[in-house]
Amino acid sequence: MQVKKGTLYVSLAVIIVLGVVGGVWYHVNYGKIYYYGRVGTMARSEKQAKGYPNAYYYRITGYDKAGRMKRLEVGSFGGHRFVQGRYIKVGWSKARKVVDYRQVMWHQIPQKAREKLPKPGNL
């Protein structure tokens, strides 16, 4: 069976367009944006089932590398409490919300975000 060149090109174009659209959709919904903030007081805690550590939640005002603000609610993993005043880097995606977090030092925060955050020593 012989396939016409025109049909082959159209099929290839459709596959490429679907791949690009799928990639853009994935990036928009699951691609991480990093926000930098400073840990304040605990917003709430949740008691877990017996044998599991409690969950602690903090409301953090974060700023991306361009200085755009986002209010985040970050829950601690494994029952650990955050230390007030420490700086935190939060990975966020549209579909999954807070994906990950880690403590960072002041000099690791991008300049535009640093301009919006309180300097070390100022609570």
- Computed on alpha carbons and rounded to an integer, the radius of gyration of the chain in Å comes to 22
Closest CA to 39 of 55, 60, 57: 60
pLDDT in tens, 89-111: 999 988 878 889 999 999 999 99
**CATH architecture of the region 33-114:** Beta Barrel (2.40)
Contact 61, 86 (CB under 8 A): no
pLDDT in tens, 17-40: 888 888 777 666 667 899 999 998
DSSP label of 108:
G
pLDDT tier at 2, thresholds 50, 70, 90: low
pLDDT of 57:
93
* The token pair that represents 79 in the structure block: 């029952």
Higher-pLDDT residue of 50, 37: 37
pLDDT tier at 12, thresholds 50, 70, 90: confident
Q: Where are the domains of the chain?
A: 1-30, 33-114
% residues pLDDT > 90 (the chain): 44
* The token pair that represents 84 in the structure block: 């007030």
Q: Please state the pTM of the whole predicted model.
A: 0.75
Q: What is the mean pLDDT of the chain?
A: 87
Ramachandran category for residue 79: left, alpha or beta (phi over 0 → left; psi -120 to 50 → alpha): left
pLDDT tier at 1, thresholds 50, 70, 90: low
